[in-house]
Structure 1
Amino acid sequence: MTQEVQDLLKTPCFDLHVEAGARMVPFAGYEMPVQYPLGVKKEHLHTRASAGLFDVSHMGQLRLHGPNAAKALEALVPVDILDLPQGKQRYALFTNDEGGLQDDLMVSNFGDHLFLVVNAACKNQDIAHLRQHLPDDVEIEILEDRALLALQGPLAAQVLARHIPYTADMVFMDSRVLKFDGVDCIIGRAGYTGEDGFEISIPAEHADRLTRLLLSEAEVEWIGLGARDSLRLESGLCLYGHDIDTSTTPVEASLLWAISKARRADGIRPGGFPGAEIVLEQIATKAVSRKRVGMIGLGKAPVREGAVLYNEQDQEIGIITSGTAGPSFGSPIAMGYVAKEFASLDTLVFAEVRGKKMPMKIAKMPFVEQRYYRG
């Protein structure tokens, strides 16, 4: 065994993955399941049709305590945290002084504290960022002894309601602390597949038992990182470090919806976040040179991340940041960045793959309709 493999962390569900025959790979410092014997395509289609279970315990889970926690966090994100209702969660972005994106995250308000879930690859830098910028009266509690599961798909709600009846009354972006077979779990009705579903934070000591309870349901199959990636791409959702990063502003990334009205120039608490002057100027003037767009492949072969994009005159105009065969959509799809003048729907572009130019057209995202349960 190499030192690299020895140094990889394991989630509380590691033994369950091995037992299920998962192919384990290094991912964000952890040994994670990329697929199971079912295979990536069947796992993807199962999630769209039934209920898929994902181990996302590599993500960072944090609590912020203190009466000024919301005000302090709001100074780091272009999102309305002060008015986030208790029992609700919101998608947020950490920005830098240039308006670039340091990470994306989920923030839940539990009244006496905020609960944050951050990306695995950015976990340590996010914690350092919070420690550097939050005042002394805001305590950061790092939850290192919890698993995080995502139960996703059209049958996820009926499966979970058998064990936690109250979840049936939750709607998209609700967050609750509820008992699951006697154990207090943090449950949010959200996910990363575009399907209805839940994210369930479980104390590590109970993770094996409660995970087995979910897996015992006929509708539920383990789903690996491979299908997680194709599902989120069909749903038009960004992957940090690929589709967004520190060089990308929210306006370039077509994430205007993630900037709360309260924090915009005409809002009740305008600006006040890192890079606000740059971001608000871009919103006002639309003065960006590139835009994140969706693309549909006009051939059969998928186009992968890193493929350079050209216009009909063979001039370089952008790059693919994510690509997949589109198992549910039925043809190759991708997202990436193109020069602003080529971002209109149905514009023909060409991706270079092994020396060949593959035709694609700019398309609306999501490619597959999002099915979040809003009540």
Structure 2
Amino acid sequence: MDLALPLDSLHRELGGRMVSFAGYAMPIQFEGIIAEHNWTRTQAGLFDVSHMGQLVFASADDVALETLLPGDITGLKAGVLRYSMLLNDNGGILDDLMVTRREDDLYMVVNGATKHDDISVFRAAGLNPQYRDDWALLALQGPLAVAVLERLAPGVGSLSFMRGGAFALLGVPAWISRSGYTGEDGFEISVPNDAVEPVARALLTHAEVRPIGLGARDSLRLEAGLPLYGHDLTPAITPVEAGLAFAISKRRKVEGGFPGATHVLDQLLNGAPKCRVGLKVEGRLPAREGASVVAAEGVVGTVTSGGFGPALGAPIAMAMVDAAHVADGTALGIDVRGRILDATVVPMPFFPKSYVREGAPR
């Protein structure tokens, strides 16, 4: 039986169409996926991402975390977020995550479907993270998100992308970071469970804000070229193959010391046998996960995510493709139930990201 999130009753009150996701009952849509997608691109969308795992580590755990993650954790400054990955002994991705150094601890957000497995890996390595299931997580995304949130938590507009801080929100403590997984400017807001409904309702009183479900969350991240764990990222895919080599910090590329380092660093030096690519699909028929990618010699890859890009007005996909066929402009085919769709390898993101980076005008 699916677990209920703290906002379950509000989702149902707002007409959310509920589905099972990562062991929870969650809204896949409210008004409709395309409408919610386009609203987030132009206004501000409110997402409930409380199914994600929020973990807290001791500050001194940074050294031990580097034996599991390829990022520079010891060098993190207070208030800075870092995207990283939990790796297995072959360099395969067990999960992708965000880790932040706060004043007194390290705060980590991991994927909902893998959080308990992640905790087991951390504990096996001698770490003892606190699983903060007493805190909920919201994401407010879109170009008007900052104007709305600034009214309720003055000062959040001073944050730049991948920065976070402690704020008072409706009189309760909140950890707010300028981050998200839509490609839009926006924020992730961590608050105690008993405060999340008043916070959500307060945000929804603003005309710029509407509730958004899982469907639009997926189409937004696809247009942004952002990989989804369990689809574009798996234990059989390395960071290099996934196109995430940027998450291997410069010092770690020299020192190694993370799981599968020998294999991963060899791929960095000599190339990987396969890579994640973006595909523009001709016509209107979308290519879905699992479809074969073909070239003249036969099958050369597999679609890992695919669908219709509402802001683009065309179908798009991400695929894991043999290295010989990953150059931008390469013509390929996608086998959709025996019908071959023409596709072209294109750069990602498919839709421009709108992050407000440090030093950018606000």
Q: Into which bin does the TM-score normalised by the smaller protein fall?
A: over 0.9
Give the SS at the match of 1:200.
strand
| C-alpha contact 1:61 1:116 (8 A) present in aligned 2 | yes
Q: Measure the CA separation in 1 of the matches of 2:244 and 2:309.
A: 22
Q: Measure the CA separation in 1 of the matches of 2:337 and 2:308.
A: 17
Runs of 4+ in 1 over 2 A off after TM superposition: none
TM-aligned CA deviation for residue 105 of structure 1: 0.4
TM-aligned CA deviation for residue 141 of structure 1: 1.1
Task: Give runs of aligned pairs for residues 1-375 of structure 1, distance below 5 A.
Answer: 7-36=1-30, 38-65=31-58, 67-135=59-127, 139-265=128-254, 270-286=255-271, 288-311=272-295, 313=296, 315-374=298-357, 375=360
Give the SS at the match of 1:104.
strand
TM-score, normalised with respect to structure 1: 0.94
2:216 is matched by which residue type in structure 1?
A
1:95 is matched by which residue type in structure 2?
L
Q: Measure the CA separation in 1 of the matches of 2:53 and 2:174.
A: 16
| C-alpha contact 1:77 1:92 (8 A) present in aligned 2 | yes
Q: Give a deviation string over 1:139-176, Cα, whole Å, max 9, x none.
A: 42110111100000000000000001110111001111
Q: Measure the CA separation in 2 of the matches of 1:11 and 1:279.
A: 38
Q: Measure the CA separation in 2 of the matches of 1:69 and 1:55.
A: 29
1:283 is matched by which residue type in structure 2?
L
Q: Measure the CA separation in 1 of the matches of 2:237 and 2:132.
A: 29
**Unpaired segments ≥5 residues, structure 1:** 1-6
| C-alpha contact 1:87 1:174 (8 A) present in aligned 2 | yes
Aligned-residue identity in percent: 48
Aligned length: 358
Partner of 1:3: none
TM-score, normalised with respect to structure 2: 0.97
Give the SS at the match of 1:361.
strand
TM-aligned CA deviation for residue 255 of structure 1: 0.8
TM-aligned CA deviation for residue 134 of structure 1: 3.0
Give the SS at the match of 1:92.
strand
